[in-house]
Amino acid sequence: MSAAPIGKFDAAWPAATRPDLVAAPVAAALAAWTGVEPVESVLAVDTDPDLADTGNFGQAYAVEPHQSANCVVVAAKRGETVTYAACMVLASTRADVNGLVRKHLGARKASFAPMDDAVTLTGMQYGGITPIGLPDTWPILVDAAVADAPWVVIGSGNRRGKLIVPGKVLAGLPGAAVLEALGV
C-alpha cells in the first residue's frame, strides 16, 4: 500500500493484488501480464461506485480531466461485418469516432457501441470499462496525449475502483495503436 501518484486517494495498491477492485477479465489480464512495464506499475484505488462517472469522480478525488482517460467502445461496420474497438482519450476530449476511428478501422460507419453490447462483450460494468482485459481481437486505439501522460486514471472494469497507469502502459497493450488527434 502506498500513495497514489495522482489524485487524492486513501491508498494505492498494485492492481494484481486487489482482485476485489477489478472485473474478472481485468484480473485475468493482470495475472497473465506481458506489458511493456511491470504489472506493478498498474495501480488500483478504492473508490465510491456512485462517483464512477468522470465529472463526479474528478471532483471527489481531485483528478483533473487531463489526468483521466475514458475508454469508449466503438462498433465499426463495413457491410455485414462489425468490428469492435476501444478508444482511449483524455476526459477533456471526445473520441473522433466518425472521422479518425472510422477511417483507421476501414469502416463505412462507426458509432458508440450500445451499452448492453459493450457490457456483454467486455464482461465489465458500464462506467468502468477499461482496455486491460478486453477481447484479444479488439483494436485498442490510444490518443497520443494519453500515451504521453506520465499517469492517467482509467476504469477497473467495475464502477467501484479505478486503475492508475502510466500512459505508455496503455500504448503497449496488445493490439494497441497510438493515434494523433484521436481525442478532439
pLDDT band per the 50, 70, 90 thresholds, residue 148: very high
Task: Give me the amino acid identity at 133.
Answer: G
> What is the per-residue pLDDT for 42?
98
23-36: per-residue pLDDT in tens? 999 999 999 999 88
Give pTM, 2 decimals: 0.97
55 assigned to some structural domain = yes
159 assigned to some structural domain = yes
> What is the per-residue pLDDT for 140?
98
108 assigned to some structural domain = yes
Q: How many domains does the chain have?
A: 1
Across the chain, what does the average pLDDT equal? 96
Of all residues in the chain, what percent are helix, strand and coil, respectively (each to 5)?
30, 25, 40
Residues 6+ apart with CB under 8 A from 123: 23, 24, 25, 133, 157
Print the domain residue range for 62: 13-179
3 assigned to some structural domain = no
2 assigned to some structural domain = no
Residues 6+ apart with CB under 8 A from 102: 76, 108, 109, 110
Is residue 10 scored above 90 in pLDDT? yes
> What is the per-residue pLDDT for 2?
86
Arithmetic mean of pLDDT, 146-160: 97
184 assigned to some structural domain = no
Is residue 1 scored above 80 in pLDDT? no
Lowest mean pLDDT among 1-10, 59-68, 135-144: 1-10
> What is the per-residue pLDDT for 166?
98
60 assigned to some structural domain = yes
Burial of 178 (0-12, 13-18, 19+ CB in 10 A): buried
95 assigned to some structural domain = yes
CATH number, domain at 120?
3.90.960.10
